[in-house]
Amino acid sequence: MSLRTSWIDRTDRIDRTNSADRTDRTDRTDWTGRTGWTGRTDCSGRTAGAGDSHAEGGRQGGRGAERARRAFMNESGTLTVDAQGLSSRELNYLLRACALDRVCGEISVKNVAGQRYIGTNLRRSLNLEIYGTPGSDLGAFMDGPRITVFGNAQDCVGNTMTSGEIVVHGRAGDVVAMSMRGGAIFVRDDVGSRCAIHMKEYGDRKPLVVIGGTAHDFLGEYMAGGTVIMLGLGLAPGEGHRACFIGTGMHGGRIFVRGSIEAHQLGREVEVVDPDSRDQETIMCAVERFCTLFGTDFAEIANSRFLKLHPRSHRPYGRFYAARDSGG
């Protein structure tokens, strides 16, 4: 039996289950194959107990089963999903069911138009391709997958991401990489404000964000760890970055900037130095990956000068929480 046939059989079974006794609260099945309340079975055949987190999906009913037929798996094992007309909840139930049940290792989602939370909390190796514009919190809390967006992305890309990779072939909105603690995010063009706010690192988990263009205000605000690289590829010759309050409250990590930054654009907690040899190695490794992903000229970037922004102190607000010596 081919992979395509296997998936069609699976969705046929979903349809049959949904069409029978949908009003029975003890055996109600949602369109991903999971039934609500008690005695329910998911599409892999396992039986779940009462209180299953997918019980809410039972409310989707037969309409969801009809939409599930738009997912097809080709012979190479790539599942294609048509997201047109699906709500954020419907799309994510389908994607999560496929990921958790190990139906496939590659998923291609077409006609995405603002659906939120795509890839949220996925914790396995998975290649997810998105065509369109995903909504907020793309890849939030994810641990392992690789997400590629062929288009722009909205706010909060990689929110509290643990590991994996997110690649955006366009621009991204505000608060990219908020509280990110591992993995890598590559954005071909610009990002909005407050990128990398409170990004952190621990042990061998060192998050990386590479911005091909420029950023808006408060880049690296309260940043506690990790690396941000801003390439300024969309700037005209002689044009500098326009973001202000860069590194405000920063107490860890590092920001590398290709192009010019004026002192008045920086937060009081950061200082500017030249990258050392170890920093240059970090920059070149990340830039090489960026150029491979987006087809950019590596030599043009590698021969440019970078500035390093790092915190003056790892405890910039320590004096606010310690008793001041009165001298008595």
d(CA 157, CA 118): 10
Contacts for 258 with CB less than 8 Å, ≥ 6 apart: 229, 230, 231, 232, 301, 304, 305, 306
Record the tokens describing residue 147, joined without a space. Answer: 């997400």
Long-range Cβ contact pairs of 17-23 (< 8 A, separation 24 or more): 17/65, 18/61, 18/62, 18/64, 18/65, 19/62, 19/65, 22/61, 22/62
Which neighbouring-strand residues pair with 153? 172
Residue-wise pLDDT tens digits, 175-210: 999 999 999 999 999 999 999 999 999 999 999 999
Q: Which string of DSSP letters, residue by residue, matches 31-77?
A: TTSPEESSSEE-TTS-EE-TT-TTGGGGGGHHHHHHHHTT-EE-TTS
Q: Check residue 98 and give its pLDDT.
A: 78
Q: Check residue 194 and give its pLDDT.
A: 97
Residue 312 has a CB neighbour count (10 Å cut-off) of 13
Spans of the chain, pLDDT less than 50: 1-67, 328
CATH of domain 123-328: 2.160.20.60
Query: Per-domain residue ranges for the chain?
Result: 1-113, 123-328
Q: Check residue 108 and give its pLDDT.
A: 93
Residue-wise pLDDT tens digits, 276-307: 999 999 999 999 999 999 999 999 999 999 99
Q: Check residue 69 and give its pLDDT.
A: 55
d(CA 106, CA 147): 10
Residue whose token pair is 């309340």? 37
Q: Check residue 64 and give its pLDDT.
A: 47
Q: Check residue 313 and give its pLDDT.
A: 79
- Which among 134, 131, 130 is positioned nearest to 114, based on CA atoms? 134
DSSP 266: B
